């Protein structure tokens, strides 16, 4: 994006003043430093901030527990039995799906296993799994264990893609070439929507098409994409996807995850799966009879009755997203906010940092990842940033990640961050 930005703090303040989403910062609790100033919180990619309204949503459920106890499953406003259904519509909007294609349940890695149980159906000829070499470790372990469960040697079954020599990120062309060569032996392609380390956004639509053309199933880990990018999972024809809600979806530490199953599969009741009573046909669930009959759609993969307090926090957060108009306006601001950060880094910091995240805004979310290239070590820079009130994070071996989040971060914070970084260097 060749945005004509200008230097100086006043310009940043003017951008904030003209920001139609600026008021949403007041919807959040921003942590404060010992001196009472608000932190520059750039780790919404790790744990999103607490929305102010969450306390009342959770309190409402505590009150129901207090007043109605077990009867709250059926009585009062928003009974617990169908409570998760309240989340389906807004969650579906955020990921570009129909409400029956999404469900909020478990956590990301659990959902990944549930999805692979149904969608990784290897044969001797086609049993390999394509993932990236630097996949988030939980995905790596999950995939290895699935291959081993099916009796395959993970060392042979896992195809780990690396960026080309001299590059930090994987091109769609590289995926295409690999699928062209090995696609017939690959059962599952599992890639991130946004890569946690580099911040690269994959072209999910193109990859899905390429993989389907070779007969592979395609799943995405959207931990860093949900609430960050505009997603169209249904239209892109993605087979399944999983995500968490504690990062960009601001729903609290360890909060319940999200899961997408394309309706092509969700409506097939005979798909093999790990079953539990919460996925069973709602009409007959409480007859307590043997004989599992799945609910059509993603809900049919539920196992247990869900933690209502956590769902209440997710509901509060999704309501904030809906009030902000969904992902489109947020992404529009995000593109500008991150482009401004990149522009300032290039102009004010120059070669003292190397940005790993793609320069093409279509290939990234809000996060920029960089390495320090100066006499001061990256670790020291991070410590200095923290001492000056910036909260960002470090990923081994040497990367600092910063994620200005459009719902609550300001242009002025981006400006101040770069000033502090320049001082630290």
When the beta carbons of 138 and 388 are compared against ligand PLP, the nearer one is 138
Helix (H) or strand (E) holding 51: strand 50-51
d(CA 194, CA 350): 25
CB of 107 to ligand PLP, least distance (A): 4
Taking the CA atoms of the chain, what radius of gyration do you get in angstroms? 22
CB of 20 to ligand PLP, least distance (A): 30
Coil/strand/helix, residue 40: strand
When the beta carbons of 159 and 191 are compared against ligand PLP, the nearer one is 191
Handedness of CA 72, 76, 80, 82 (dihedral sign): positive
When the beta carbons of 108 and 157 are compared against ligand PLP, the nearer one is 108
When the beta carbons of 24 and 220 are compared against ligand PLP, the nearer one is 220
DSSP 246: S
When the beta carbons of 128 and 401 are compared against ligand PLP, the nearer one is 401
C-alpha dist (Å) from residue 181 to 131, 175, 177? 15, 10, 6
Cis amide prior to 63 (ω within 30 degrees): no
CB of 226 to ligand PLP, least distance (A): 11
Coil/strand/helix, residue 368: strand
Instruction: Give the angle 24-414-231 at the CA atoms, nearest 5°.
Output: 55
When the beta carbons of 183 and 306 are compared against ligand PLP, the nearer one is 306
CB of 135 to ligand PLP, least distance (A): 8
CB of 223 to ligand PLP, least distance (A): 4
CB of 200 to ligand PLP, least distance (A): 12
Coil/strand/helix, residue 301: helix
CB of 49 to ligand PLP, least distance (A): 16
Q: Can you say how many angstroms the Cα of residue 60 is from the centroid of all Cα atoms in its chain?
A: 27
b/e sequence 411-425, b meaning 16+ C-beta within 10 Å: bbbbbbbbebbeebb
Pairing, β 368-372 against β 102-104: unpaired
CB of 170 to ligand PLP, least distance (A): 15
The strand ranges marked E within 133-212 are 158-161, 186-192
When the beta carbons of 137 and 290 are compared against ligand PLP, the nearer one is 137
b/e sequence 79-103, b meaning 16+ C-beta within 10 Å: ebeebbebbbebbbbbbbbbbbbbb
When the beta carbons of 83 and 197 are compared against ligand PLP, the nearer one is 197
**Pairs from 149-155 (Cβ < 8 Å, separation ≥ 24):** 150/120, 150/122, 152/122, 152/127
- Interface contacts to ligand PLP, rule CB under 6 A: 107-109, 136, 138-139, 192, 196, 221, 223-224, 244, 257
CB of 108 to ligand PLP, least distance (A): 4
CB of 74 to ligand PLP, least distance (A): 30
When the beta carbons of 196 and 340 are compared against ligand PLP, the nearer one is 196
When the beta carbons of 111 and 118 are compared against ligand PLP, the nearer one is 111
Residue number, nearest CB to ligand PLP = 109
């Amino acid at each position: 994006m060749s945005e004509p930005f200008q230097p100086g703090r006043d310009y940043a303040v003017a951008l904030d003043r003209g920001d139609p989403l600026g008021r949403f910062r007041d919807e959040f609790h921003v942590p404060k430093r010992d001196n009472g100033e608000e932190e520059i919180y750039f780790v919404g990619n790790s744990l999103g901030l607490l929305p102010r309204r969450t306390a009342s949503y959770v309190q409402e459920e505590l009150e129901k527990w207090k007043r109605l106890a077990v009867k709250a499953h059926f009585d009062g406003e928003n009974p617990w039995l169908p409570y998760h259904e309240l989340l389906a519509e807004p969650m579906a909007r955020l990921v570009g799906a129909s409400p029956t294609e999404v469900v909020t349940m478990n956590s990301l890695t659990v959902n990944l296993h549930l999805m692979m149980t149904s969608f990784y159906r290897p044969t001797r000829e086609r049993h390999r799994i394509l993932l990236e070499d630097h996949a988030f470790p939980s995905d790596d372990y999950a995939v290895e264990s699935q291959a081993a469960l099916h009796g395959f040697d993970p060392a042979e079954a896992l195809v780990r893609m690396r960026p080309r020599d001299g590059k930090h990120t994987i091109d769609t062309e590289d995926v295409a070439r690999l699928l062209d060569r090995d696609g017939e032996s690959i059962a599952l392609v599992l890639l991130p929507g946004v890569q946690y380390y580099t911040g690269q956004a994959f072209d999910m639509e193109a990859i899905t098409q390429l993989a389907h053309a070779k007969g592979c199933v395609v799943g995405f880990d959207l931990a860093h994409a949900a609430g960050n990018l505009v997603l169209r999972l249904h239209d892109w024809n993605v087979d399944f996807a999983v995500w968490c809600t504690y990062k960009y979806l601001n729903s609290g530490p360890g909060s319940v995850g999200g899961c997408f199953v394309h309706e092509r599969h969700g409506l097939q009741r005979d798909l093999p799966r790990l079953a539990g009573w919460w996925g069973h046909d709602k009409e007959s669930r409480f007859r307590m009879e043997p004989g599992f009959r799945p609910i059509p759609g993603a809900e049919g993969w539920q196992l247990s009755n869900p933690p209502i307090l956590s769902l209440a926090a997710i509901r509060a957060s999704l309501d904030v997203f809906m009030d902000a108009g969904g992902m489109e306006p947020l992404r529009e601001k995000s593109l500008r906010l991150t482009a401004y950060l990149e522009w300032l880094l290039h102009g004010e910091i120059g070669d003292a940092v190397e940005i790993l995240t793609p320069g093409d805004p279509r290939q990234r979310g809000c996060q920029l990842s960089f390495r320090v290239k100066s006499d001061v070590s990256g670790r020291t820079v991070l410590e200095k940033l923290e001492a000056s009130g910036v909260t960002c994070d470090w990923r081994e071996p040497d990367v600092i990640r910063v994620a200005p989040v459009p719902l609550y971060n300001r242009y002025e914070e981006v400006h101040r961050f770069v000033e502090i970084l320049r001082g630290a260097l």
